[in-house]
Amino acid sequence: MLRTVGVEEELLLVDAGSFTPRAVAGAVLEGEKGGELVAELQQQQLEINTHPCERLDQLRDQLRAWRGRAAALARAQGAEVAALATSPLPVSPQLTPGGRYRRMTDLFGLTAQEQLTCGCHIHVGVASDEEGVAVIDRLRPWLAPLLALSTNSPFWQGRDTGYAGYRYQVFGRWPTAGPPELFGSAAGYRHAVGAMLGTGTLLDQGMVYFDVRLSVTFPTVEVRVCDVCPDAEDAVLLAALVRGLVETAARDWSAGEPAPDVGVHVLRLAAWRACRSGIQGSLVHPLTHRPACAREVIEAVVDHSAAALEEAGDLDTVRAGVERLLTRGTGARWQREVYAERGAAAVVREAVDRTLSF
């Protein structure tokens, strides 16, 4: 049986005329009772959630359906949805009303107030917490290339940041964000999380923002490192890659293969390199931890998980999707190209079209 995979996407809400971010999430979501469309930290964004899927075509259909549903609800309020990980236009984030979000802002100040970023979180089913933590330990070196493939946030407050994926830098202001340590076991994971909560710094376990973690709600491993992708097809590609990596990690654990003993300091540098240049420059190779061209690194990710991808029937789709991205570039590339020709509002306008271009 295939492992299930599901996706959470955060989308930017923008004015249908000016394309500036617009704080209408409350009105957009009024009357929505299910968990597929939900509010996020700021009123200029919302989140869509797919159900667990075994086949990629099911996941693709759900992403298209929920992006479309979000767009229809937004248009009723004079807004649009855009799969942008940060806003190319200046914005003053407006906090979503609610006790938890208010407590977060009171505790974390400007970090919470300025936090308007949109990520893509990928959930893959695991049989137990023990298997899940074994997977987390073995996924750690492979996360930075996924970030590079997803980079879609070169702008911040109207300026080019010089990064392909600046969202990761902004989100890294949270004290729990970034690559996790090696845990060794479910007990080790629980001990680490318990120690963090014991400091009194976090509101709850939901604020443990590791790049990969055990889901607080579902029996899944949750990979949180990616930018939201403008094209739903790229989100499907990332989901397939993550499922392949999870299955490979679980098999290695079952076979008694030790987890790679890579320090958090190296993983942080690999992630920084990934969000700085995306797939346009060199990356840190997940096996050698030395610089290598992006194509070599991304192909190493596919090769590492090829057996699992083949058995799932996903290998050809992944190879074609990777080649498409390596040739065309990620969202960061086209955002800069459009910005240079037509300006920031045109970037958002095109992002709206890409979000719904199925």
Please report, for the domain that includes residue 208, its CATH number. Answer: 3.30.590.20
pLDDT of 25-54, one tens digit each? Answer: 999 999 887 789 999 999 999 999 999 999
Indicate if the pLDDT at residue 358 is higher than 80. Answer: no
Range of 74's domain? 5-355
Q: How many other C-beta atoms are found inside a 10 Å radius of the C-beta of residue 102?
A: 13
Tally the domains of the chain. Answer: 1
Are 123 and 59 a contacting pair, CB within 8 Å?
Answer: no
Nearest 10 degrees: CA dihedral of 306, 312, 316, 320? -90
Residue 45 CA to residue 39 CA, distance in Å, equals: 7
Q: What is the pLDDT of residues 307-325, one digit of tens each?
A: 999 999 999 999 999 999 9
Instruction: Quote the pTM value.
Output: 0.97
pLDDT in tens, 278-307: 999 999 999 999 999 999 999 999 999 999
Torsion of CA 303, 309, 310, 311, to 10 degrees: 140
